[in-house]
Amino acid sequence: MRTIRRFFKRLSSWATTQRDDQRLRAEIEEHLALQTAENVRAGLSSVEARRQAVLKFGAVESVREGYRDQKGLPFMETLLQDIRQGLRRLRNAPAFTITTVLTLALGIGATTSIFTLVYAVLMKSLAVANPNELYKLGKEARCCYWGGYSQYKEYSLVSYDLYKHFRDYTKDFSELAAFQASNQLFGVRRAGRAEAAQSYPGEFVSGNYFAMFGIRAYAGRVFSGSDDRAEAQAVAVMSYRLWQDRYGSDPSVIGAVFNLDDKPFTVVGIAPPGFFGDSLRNTPPDFFLPLNTEPFALSDTDLYKPDNYWLELIGRIRPGARAASIEAEMRVELKRWLRSHWGEMTANDRAKFPKQTLFLRPGGAGITAMREEYEHWLRILMMVSAFVLLIVCANVANLMLVRGMERRRQISLSMALGARPSRLVKQALTESILLSLLGGVAGLAIAFAGTSLILHFAFPQRGGMAGVPISASPSTPVLLFAFGLSLITGLAFGIGPAWMATRVDPIEALRGASRSTARTGSLPRKTLVVFQAALALVLLSVSGLLTAALHRLENQNFGFDQERRIVANINPMLAGYGGDRLTPLYRRIQDSLSSIPGVSGVALCIYSPLGGNNWGSGIRVDGHPSPGPNDDDMAFWDRVTAGYFDIIATPILRGRGITEQDTATSRHVAVISEAFARKFFKNEDPIGRHFGQHGIGSEREYEIVGITKDAVYLSMDLGKPVSAFFFLPEAQHDFLPTPEATEASPGSHLMRDIVVAIRPGASLSFAQVRQALASVDPNLPVISIRTLEEQVGGQFRQQRLIARLTSFFGALSLVLSSIGLYGVTAYNAGRRTGEIGVRMALGADRGDVVGLVVRGAFVLIVVGLLIGLPLTFAAGRFLGNQLYGMNPYNPEVTLIAVVTLGLSALLASLIPALRASSISPMEALRVE
């Protein structure tokens, strides 16, 4: 109680310093007067009486100090004093201050901008109510479809049927919602408006999706369970982003009908701003649609197939419920559900039945596919920026040490006058923290610019669609991070120099000779330079490795030609094409484009190489035993028009490609890749053999007529052995080996990509392509047109960005450590002027002097390199699979890094060496 009262008294009297000072002075005066009077009464002379009184009172200053310590808050007071003094001193050295603040801003800014991304991608929860109550199904994000009655490792995707089973039987979820694992583009057109359809992503979600997240509509209403019934009217919720950007927040949008792929949906409401759905991704959905509209919207029956897994689950658990017990309960339910489908299960599924399990994981961050994709990159970048910050700290510490040297006399004088060392250290530390806070403020601006730039390059916005929902502007955690980082930085670079600055003997002040300081303080500065050199070497080799890996990736043999090829992405379905009308459409497109002068050929395919998507399938080879439960029978496939391989320039190694003779009525053929041949026909000749992709009974579905060279179609194959591939003719349709013989995947006849090959020397503009397509059908939406080079290059966007960022950081660290070395060398050379003069007077020539100085500098660099080399190898290991199969112990890269560092060190030390050697001996000796 007493202490608290005292604290407030002190706080208030701290504010009224001036008046209290007067009070004390008056009291002292009174005290001395009374004592003097008494001494006079005792018979002393008035002068002596006063002297005795003062003696008896003690040192007035120390009393005043003690009084002040009692009265105010000495900590606050000295802090304020130190801050005022620190600011004054920084103002008096503008060059030093600006250099330091800028250097710090670079380091803090780089680290903060990476942290902004780390926070957004790895740490942030969804913008929903109480995210900590949410749990999701599945340990790892798994995109996007799965079939059959067993799942590899864990059940992480569910069918609509399985979702309903979980929803109805798991009591401890207050809401359990399901939603599409992928999202897809819809051609969107507001009904009754004459406008071309524009593509926006949409996602099918269960009726309780919004209720589960605790999300209310910004305008209108969100849909609920009653909207998610087969017979209900088709409704949709639009994203705030689209409503604002595209429709100018027009209130009439609510209640209006929008055609999504030509199917009418009524928009009933707008999702709140900041809500980007269930997962952080490049293209957050602009339309949320009830699950039961899926058959209507896509004209398929995915929803009703119990073994068609395309939904993710997130649930909100009841207060007090335990996730572990829900998980156990759901495992039992899963088994029960599988048992109820025992009759439909294949022998393989039944064999895998005992192993089927599932996992519940915290779902507050939603589906974290992006987290898994970027985590390693972000770790690398975080490490790299931390290294840069360390180098920055070393540099600034070096500057502070020099500053400390210059202040030695002043400090020893202060100490001679009775200043306490702790107070002097505190003063110096306050100054460094001031500097780092200033650096932090400037760093925030750099971080904002840096993050915006990184986001722009990493996630380029596609026409009209929402970009990745990450904001570059600092959020509270980012601000706190930057503040904390600045404080730590200030301590890191300040504490050593501050402590060392006070390690002076007060007597030095009186001696006043500059010589006495000659040897001290040189070791720490040298250590810092060694440290910098080691870190710079690591950063240089990391950036070298990443750049080399990128170069290797970009210049690998892709198995097709990138030059002189244009890829136009279309969606015939949006213009109402389907069924029998497709093949004639493709014919017309080919004719129209081929008639443009300079075009050497046109082919269509579902997916062109590295377009970012593909279909995969389990393969059964005729004459081989059925694949067992653990066999990898996976191959990827594409459907192409005649002449495709010539147009994309993938060589046919044996047999033939897809030609005009493969028609709807001719025998069904397939062209396989080398990898396919290796995987399924180890020592056999594949030509003439049969295989199929539609389960038991489909083994003779296709006859192999040709083998192509391997080509890279999948981005996951980059830098790895290419996956097995096969190609089917566009004109041929597959039918399931069932009595009804329904058509298998009719959607595979929707050719998405048109590949246009251009004659050497000719040129073709995108406008010409658009025009030719418009002449076929003006309503045919062209989603994108780009060159094949751009499409392939797009696959390396991340790698290129990371390589450039680390190269930038590497260059920065090189410059900073060279400056550090320059500083130390120049300083040491300056101090050795006298020695140099003596040497020169005794006959040393300029070369000797230059050698002397440069040698000194190189010893430091070599020690730094020796320390840095093992670190470099460790860093290479850390990069690991981000090098796409390149050996992390790359002697070339290491050598280049060493040479680069050596050259810049030579430059940094040569300048002061030449300056030192150009002095005349007489002059040098006079300096003494």
Partner 1 sequence: MKEKTDVLQGTLALMVLKTLDVLGPLHGYGVARRIEQISGDLLTVNQGTLYPVLLKLEQEGSIASEWGASENNRKARFYRLTRDGRKRLQAETRGWEQTAAIIGRFFAVKAEDLK
Residues that bind partner 1 (CB under 8 A): 2, 5-6, 9-10, 13, 23-24, 26-28, 30-31, 33-35, 37-38, 56-60, 62-63, 66-67, 69-71
CB of 468 to partner 1, least distance (A): 58
What is the smallest separation between the CB atom of 62 and partner 1, expressed in angstroms?
8
**Token pair 């202040």: residue:** 407
Closest contact distance (angstroms) between CB of 542 and partner 1 is 59
Please state, as a whole number, how many other Cβ atoms lie within 10 Å of the Cβ of residue 354: 8
Q: Name which of 29 and 660 has its Cβ closer to partner 1.
A: 29
φ, ψ at 748 (rounded to 5°): -70, -5
Q: Retrieve residue 175's tokens.
A: 């809401």
> Diameter of the chain by CA atoms?
138
Q: Judged by CB, which is closer to partner 1: 48, or 928? A: 48
Q: Kindly provide the residue ranges of all beta strands, DSSP E only, lying in 428-472, ordered along the sequence.
A: none
State in angstroms the smallest separation of the CB of 81 from partner 1. 20
The residue among 3 and 665 lying less far from partner 1, judged by its C-beta, is 3
Nearest distance from C-beta of residue 40 to partner 1, angstroms: 11
CB of 421 to partner 1, least distance (A): 24
Nearer to partner 1, 74 or 627 (CB): 74
Interatomic CA distance for residues 369 and 371, integer angstroms: 5
Residue 9 or 587: the one with the smaller Cβ distance to partner 1 is: 9
The whole-angstrom separation of Cα 330 and Cα 423 is 64
Rounded to the nearest whole angstrom, what is the least distance from the CB of residue 23 to partner 1 in the complex? 7
Question: Is the omega angle on the peptide bond into residue 605 within 30 degrees of 0, that is, cis?
Answer: no
**How many other C-beta atoms are found inside a 10 Å radius of the C-beta of residue 585?**
19
For residues 522 and 519, give the distance between their C-alpha atoms in angstroms, rounded to a whole number.
Answer: 6
Asked if 544 contacts 809 with a C-beta cutoff of 8 angstroms, the reply is no
Q: How far apart, in whole angstroms, are the C-alpha atoms of residue 602 and residue 33?
A: 111
12 or 45: whose CB is closer to partner 1? 12
Question: Rounded CA gap, 507 and 408, in Å?
Answer: 11
Nearer Cβ to partner 1, position 9 or 855? Answer: 9
Cβ nearer to partner 1, comparing 34 with 774 = 34
Residue 63 or 480 with smaller CB distance to partner 1: 63
User: Shortest CA distance to 911 belongs to which of 827, 834, 836?
Assistant: 827
27 vs 790 by CB, closer to partner 1: 27
In the complex, the smallest distance separating the C-beta of residue 506 from partner 1, rounded to whole angstroms, is: 25
Task: Give me the phi and psi of 797, to 5 degrees please.
Answer: -55, -50
Q: Which two tokens stand for residue 68?
A: 């002040």
Task: Give whichever of 24 and 687 is closer to partner 1, judged by the CB atom.
Answer: 24
Among 396, 585, 422, 615, which Cα is nearest to 501's? 422
What CA–CA distance (Å, rounded) separates 781 from 575? 7
Q: Are 913 and 849 in contact (CB under 8 A)?
A: yes
Q: How far apart are CB 422 and partner 1 at their closest, in Å?
A: 20
C-beta closer to partner 1: residue 71 or 407: 71
Q: Supply the DSSP symbol for 121.
A: I
Comparing CB distances to partner 1, the nearer of 11 and 696 is 11
* C-beta of 66 vs 885, nearer to partner 1: 66
C-alpha distances (whole Å) from 121 to each of 93, 224, 316, 365, 717 are: 41, 30, 22, 9, 25
Tell me the closest approach of the beta carbon of residue 25 to partner 1, in angstroms: 11
Identity of the residue, 77 or 300, whose beta carbon is nearer to partner 1 in the bound complex = 77
Q: For the CB of residue 55, give the shortest distance to partner 1 in the complex, in Å.
A: 9
Q: Tokens in use for 193?
A: 């408006």
Q: If you ran DSSP here, which 8-state letter would residue 660 be given?
A: T
21 vs 302 by CB, closer to partner 1: 21
Q: Least distance in Å: CB of 67 to partner 1?
A: 5
For residue 448, which amino acid is it?
F
CB 4 to partner 1: min, Å: 10
State in angstroms the smallest separation of the CB of 72 from partner 1.
10
Q: Tell me how far, at minimum, the Cβ of 63 lies from partner 1, in Å.
A: 4
Q: Which is nearer to partner 1, 5 or 193 (CB)?
A: 5
Q: Which is nearer to partner 1, 8 or 842 (CB)?
A: 8
List, in order, residues 6 or more apart from 336 with CB less than 8 Å away: none
List, as one string, the DSSP characters of 168-219. HH-TTEEEEEEEESS-EEEEEEETT-----EEEEEEEE-TTHHHHHT---SE
How far is 232 from 495, CA to CA, in rounded Å? 70
755-774 b/e with 16+ CB inside 10 Å = b? bbbbeeeeebeeebbeebbe
Cα angle vertex 135, ends 134, 141, to 5°? 125
Instruction: Find the shortest distance in angstroms from Cβ 414 to partner 1.
Output: 24
- What are residue 179's phi and psi, to 5 degrees? -155, 160
Smallest separation (angstroms) from partner 1 to the CB of 34: 4
Q: CB of 475: closest distance to partner 1 in angstroms?
A: 43
CB-based contacts of 390, cutoff 8 Å, min separation 6? 531, 535
Q: Does residue 745 come out as left (phi exceeding 0), alpha (psi in the -120 to 50 range) or beta?
A: left
DSSP string, 358-419: --EEE-TT-B-HHHHHHHHHHHHHHHHHHHHHHHHHHHHHHHHHHHHHHTHHHHHHHHHTT-
Name the residue with tokens 């929008």: 258
d(CA 175, CA 762) in angstroms, rounded, equals 61
